[in-house]
A and B are shown apart, each in its own frame.
Chain A
Protein backbone atom coordinates (compact mmCIF):
# COMPACT_ATOMS: atom_id res chain seq x y z
CA UNK A 1 0.00 0.00 0.00
CA UNK A 2 0.88 3.65 -0.13
CA UNK A 3 3.15 4.93 2.61
CA UNK A 4 5.31 7.85 3.68
CA UNK A 5 8.56 7.55 5.61
CA UNK A 6 9.99 10.49 7.51
CA UNK A 7 13.19 10.89 9.43
CA UNK A 8 13.02 10.23 13.16
CA UNK A 9 12.89 13.17 15.46
CA UNK A 10 13.20 15.24 17.43
CA UNK A 11 15.46 17.45 15.38
CA UNK A 12 17.08 20.15 17.50
CA UNK A 13 18.70 23.13 15.79
CA UNK A 14 20.05 26.51 16.74
CA UNK A 15 18.32 29.57 15.37
CA UNK A 16 19.47 30.48 11.84
CA UNK A 17 20.66 26.93 11.13
CA UNK A 18 19.81 25.11 7.90
CA UNK A 19 16.96 22.61 8.11
CA UNK A 20 16.39 19.42 6.17
CA UNK A 21 13.65 16.94 7.04
CA UNK A 22 13.73 13.88 4.84
CA UNK A 23 10.59 12.35 3.36
CA UNK A 24 10.35 9.42 0.98
CA UNK A 25 7.25 7.71 -0.29
CA UNK A 26 5.96 4.49 -1.76
CA UNK A 27 2.92 4.84 -3.96
CA UNK A 28 1.17 3.51 -7.01
CA UNK A 29 1.60 5.95 -9.83
CA UNK A 30 2.51 9.55 -9.16
CA UNK A 31 0.98 10.99 -6.01
CA UNK A 32 0.44 14.58 -4.99
CA UNK A 33 2.77 15.47 -2.10
CA UNK A 34 2.31 17.77 0.87
CA UNK A 35 3.99 19.11 3.97
CA UNK A 36 1.75 19.99 6.91
CA UNK A 37 2.85 21.69 10.12
CA UNK A 38 1.28 21.27 13.54
CA UNK A 39 2.11 23.79 16.26
CA UNK A 40 1.66 22.70 19.89
CA UNK A 41 -1.97 22.26 20.83
CA UNK A 42 -3.24 23.11 17.35
CA UNK A 43 -4.58 21.47 14.22
CA UNK A 44 -2.67 20.99 10.98
CA UNK A 45 -1.79 23.73 8.53
CA UNK A 46 -0.77 23.14 4.95
CA UNK A 47 2.79 24.39 4.53
CA UNK A 48 3.40 23.55 0.87
CA UNK A 49 2.52 21.09 -1.86
CA UNK A 50 3.59 19.70 -5.23
CA UNK A 51 1.34 17.86 -7.64
CA UNK A 52 3.77 16.60 -10.29
CA UNK A 53 7.38 15.57 -10.72
CA UNK A 54 9.98 18.36 -10.49
CA UNK A 55 7.45 20.78 -9.00
CA UNK A 56 8.85 22.88 -6.17
CA UNK A 57 6.51 23.91 -3.39
CA UNK A 58 7.49 26.88 -1.27
CA UNK A 59 6.02 28.94 1.56
CA UNK A 60 7.36 31.01 4.46
CA UNK A 61 10.96 30.24 3.50
CA UNK A 62 10.34 26.47 3.37
CA UNK A 63 10.87 24.56 0.13
CA UNK A 64 10.45 21.01 -1.10
CA UNK A 65 10.98 19.53 -4.57
CA UNK A 66 9.06 16.51 -5.92
CA UNK A 67 11.77 14.06 -7.00
CA UNK A 68 10.26 11.16 -8.91
CA UNK A 69 13.60 9.40 -9.47
CA UNK A 70 14.30 9.17 -5.74
CA UNK A 71 10.62 9.14 -4.63
CA UNK A 72 11.42 11.95 -2.22
CA UNK A 73 10.00 15.28 -1.06
CA UNK A 74 12.53 16.62 1.44
CA UNK A 75 11.65 19.79 3.36
CA UNK A 76 14.32 22.51 3.58
CA UNK A 77 14.68 25.96 5.09
CA UNK A 78 17.78 28.08 4.92
CA UNK A 79 17.51 29.75 8.33
CA UNK A 80 15.14 28.47 10.99
CA UNK A 81 13.59 30.54 13.75
CA UNK A 82 12.39 29.62 17.22
CA UNK A 83 8.84 30.11 15.92
CA UNK A 84 9.36 27.22 13.48
CA UNK A 85 9.34 24.77 16.39
CA UNK A 86 6.53 22.36 15.57
CA UNK A 87 5.79 18.89 14.24
CA UNK A 88 6.09 18.52 10.48
CA UNK A 89 4.12 15.86 8.58
CA UNK A 90 4.83 14.72 5.05
CA UNK A 91 1.72 13.39 3.29
CA UNK A 92 0.50 12.14 -0.06
CA UNK A 93 -2.65 11.57 -2.07
CA UNK A 94 -2.71 8.83 -4.67
CA UNK A 95 -5.04 8.21 -7.57
CA UNK A 96 -6.65 5.29 -5.81
CA UNK A 97 -8.05 7.15 -2.85
CA UNK A 98 -9.48 10.42 -1.72
CA UNK A 99 -7.53 10.75 1.47
CA UNK A 100 -4.25 12.03 2.85
CA UNK A 101 -1.73 9.41 3.97
CA UNK A 102 0.61 10.90 6.56
CA UNK A 103 4.12 10.07 7.65
CA UNK A 104 4.84 9.66 11.34
CA UNK A 105 5.82 13.31 11.78
CA UNK A 106 9.12 14.93 12.72
CA UNK A 107 9.34 17.20 15.72
CA UNK A 108 11.54 20.25 15.22
CA UNK A 109 12.91 22.22 18.16
CA UNK A 110 14.74 25.44 17.45
CA UNK A 111 16.75 26.98 20.28
CA UNK A 112 18.28 30.42 20.70
Chain B
Protein backbone atom coordinates (compact mmCIF):
# COMPACT_ATOMS: atom_id res chain seq x y z
CA UNK B 1 0.00 0.00 0.00
CA UNK B 2 1.71 3.15 -1.21
CA UNK B 3 -1.28 5.40 -0.86
CA UNK B 4 -1.90 8.60 0.98
CA UNK B 5 -5.64 9.04 1.32
CA UNK B 6 -7.22 12.43 1.78
CA UNK B 7 -10.84 13.18 2.65
CA UNK B 8 -12.93 14.88 1.59
CA UNK B 9 -11.99 15.35 -2.05
CA UNK B 10 -13.99 18.55 -2.28
CA UNK B 11 -15.14 20.94 0.43
CA UNK B 12 -17.13 24.16 0.29
CA UNK B 13 -17.29 26.13 3.52
CA UNK B 14 -18.44 29.52 4.70
CA UNK B 15 -16.15 31.96 6.41
CA UNK B 16 -17.74 31.26 9.79
CA UNK B 17 -17.62 27.47 9.50
CA UNK B 18 -15.28 25.03 11.21
CA UNK B 19 -14.19 22.04 9.17
CA UNK B 20 -11.38 19.51 9.14
CA UNK B 21 -9.32 17.89 6.43
CA UNK B 22 -8.11 14.35 7.02
CA UNK B 23 -5.06 12.51 5.74
CA UNK B 24 -4.19 8.86 6.31
CA UNK B 25 -1.27 6.63 5.37
CA UNK B 26 -0.45 3.03 6.29
CA UNK B 27 3.09 2.85 4.98
CA UNK B 28 4.68 3.24 8.41
CA UNK B 29 5.97 6.67 7.46
CA UNK B 30 7.07 8.85 10.38
CA UNK B 31 6.96 12.22 8.64
CA UNK B 32 3.82 13.88 7.29
CA UNK B 33 3.28 17.19 5.58
CA UNK B 34 0.57 19.68 4.61
CA UNK B 35 0.99 21.71 1.43
CA UNK B 36 -1.23 24.39 -0.08
CA UNK B 37 -1.44 24.77 -3.86
CA UNK B 38 -3.13 27.66 -5.59
CA UNK B 39 -4.18 27.35 -9.22
CA UNK B 40 -1.26 27.25 -11.67
CA UNK B 41 1.25 27.55 -8.82
CA UNK B 42 3.60 25.07 -7.16
CA UNK B 43 2.75 23.54 -3.78
CA UNK B 44 3.80 25.59 -0.76
CA UNK B 45 4.74 23.89 2.48
CA UNK B 46 2.56 24.66 5.50
CA UNK B 47 3.46 22.15 8.23
CA UNK B 48 5.76 19.20 8.85
CA UNK B 49 5.23 16.54 11.50
CA UNK B 50 7.92 14.10 12.53
CA UNK B 51 7.13 11.25 14.92
CA UNK B 52 3.78 12.92 15.65
CA UNK B 53 5.40 16.16 16.74
CA UNK B 54 5.21 19.46 14.86
CA UNK B 55 8.62 20.01 13.29
CA UNK B 56 8.05 22.93 10.91
CA UNK B 57 5.38 25.64 10.79
CA UNK B 58 5.94 27.89 7.81
CA UNK B 59 4.38 30.92 9.51
CA UNK B 60 0.89 29.72 8.70
CA UNK B 61 -2.03 31.81 10.07
CA UNK B 62 -3.65 30.40 13.19
CA UNK B 63 -6.94 29.81 11.36
CA UNK B 64 -5.17 26.67 10.13
CA UNK B 65 -4.52 24.23 12.98
CA UNK B 66 -2.76 20.92 12.33
CA UNK B 67 -3.08 17.84 14.45
CA UNK B 68 -1.34 14.47 14.36
CA UNK B 69 -3.34 12.11 16.61
CA UNK B 70 -1.22 9.08 15.69
CA UNK B 71 1.49 8.02 13.28
CA UNK B 72 -0.99 7.22 10.49
CA UNK B 73 -3.25 10.26 10.68
CA UNK B 74 -2.82 13.94 10.02
CA UNK B 75 -5.63 16.45 10.31
CA UNK B 76 -5.91 20.09 9.35
CA UNK B 77 -8.56 22.00 11.29
CA UNK B 78 -9.99 25.05 9.56
CA UNK B 79 -11.74 27.97 11.23
CA UNK B 80 -12.72 31.45 10.06
CA UNK B 81 -11.10 31.05 6.67
CA UNK B 82 -11.04 33.72 3.99
CA UNK B 83 -11.93 33.33 0.31
CA UNK B 84 -8.23 33.66 -0.56
CA UNK B 85 -7.64 30.43 1.36
CA UNK B 86 -9.44 28.57 -1.42
CA UNK B 87 -6.91 26.13 -2.86
CA UNK B 88 -5.93 22.49 -3.25
CA UNK B 89 -4.60 21.17 0.06
CA UNK B 90 -2.15 18.33 -0.35
CA UNK B 91 -0.96 15.90 2.27
CA UNK B 92 2.28 13.98 1.87
CA UNK B 93 4.29 11.47 3.85
CA UNK B 94 7.81 10.09 3.85
CA UNK B 95 9.66 7.33 5.68
CA UNK B 96 11.60 9.89 7.66
CA UNK B 97 12.11 13.61 7.33
CA UNK B 98 13.20 14.52 3.82
CA UNK B 99 16.97 14.86 3.73
CA UNK B 100 19.55 15.60 1.09
CA UNK B 101 21.57 12.67 -0.15
CA UNK B 102 19.28 10.03 1.28
CA UNK B 103 18.49 7.70 -1.60
CA UNK B 104 15.43 6.46 0.26
CA UNK B 105 13.95 9.93 0.46
CA UNK B 106 10.65 10.05 -1.30
CA UNK B 107 7.51 11.97 -0.50
CA UNK B 108 4.20 10.35 -1.39
CA UNK B 109 1.35 12.76 -2.05
CA UNK B 110 -2.36 12.33 -1.68
CA UNK B 111 -4.91 13.42 -4.29
CA UNK B 112 -5.67 16.55 -2.33
CA UNK B 113 -8.75 18.28 -0.98
CA UNK B 114 -10.07 21.08 -3.17
CA UNK B 115 -11.31 23.71 -0.74
CA UNK B 116 -13.57 26.58 -1.68
CA UNK B 117 -14.31 29.28 0.91
CA UNK B 118 -17.43 31.31 0.20
Cα–Cα distance between A32 and B102 once the two chains are bound (Å)? 8
Give the chain A neighbours of B100 by CB distance below 8 A. Answer: 29-32, 51, 93-95
Q: Is the C-beta of B98 less than 8 angstroms from some C-beta in chain A?
A: yes
Q: Is the CB of B107 within 8 A of A100?
A: yes
Near B by CB (< 8 A), chain A positions 74-106 give 89, 93-95, 98-100, 102-105
Distance from A27 Cβ to chain B, minimum over Cβ atoms (Å): 9
Is A68 part of the contact surface with B, judged by Cβ < 8 Å? no
Number of interface residues of A (CB under 8 A): 24
A65 to B87, CA, bound (A): 33
Indicate the member of A31, A89, A100 with the most B CB atoms within 10 Å: A100
Structural contact, B43 and A44, CB atoms closer than 8 A: yes
CB of A103 to closest CB in B, whole Å: 6
**Contact residue among B40, B48, B112 (Cβ-Cβ distance under 8 Å from A98):** B48
List which B91-115 residues lie within 8 A (CB) of chain A.
Answer: 92, 97-103, 105-112
Could you tell me the distance between the alpha carbons of A36 and B55 in the complex, rounded to whole angstroms? 24
**Residue A109 at the B interface, CB < 8 A?**
no
Given A93-B100, A99-B98, A100-B98: A44 and B109 within 8 A (CB)?
A: yes
Q: Which of A42, A52, A89 contacts B112 (CB 8 A)?
A: A42
CB-CB under 8 A from B103, the residues of chain A are: 51
Contact A103 B105 (CB under 8 A): no
Residues of B within 8 A of A (CB): 4, 6, 31, 33, 40-43, 45, 48, 50, 55-56, 90, 92, 97-103, 105-112
A-B residue pairs in contact (CB < 8 Å), sample of 26: A30-B101, A31-B100, A32-B100, A32-B102, A36-B109, A42-B111, A42-B112, A43-B4, A43-B90, A43-B111, A44-B90, A44-B92, A46-B107, A51-B100, A51-B101, A89-B43, A93-B99, A93-B105, A95-B100, A98-B98, A98-B99, A100-B98, A102-B42, A103-B42, A104-B41, A105-B42
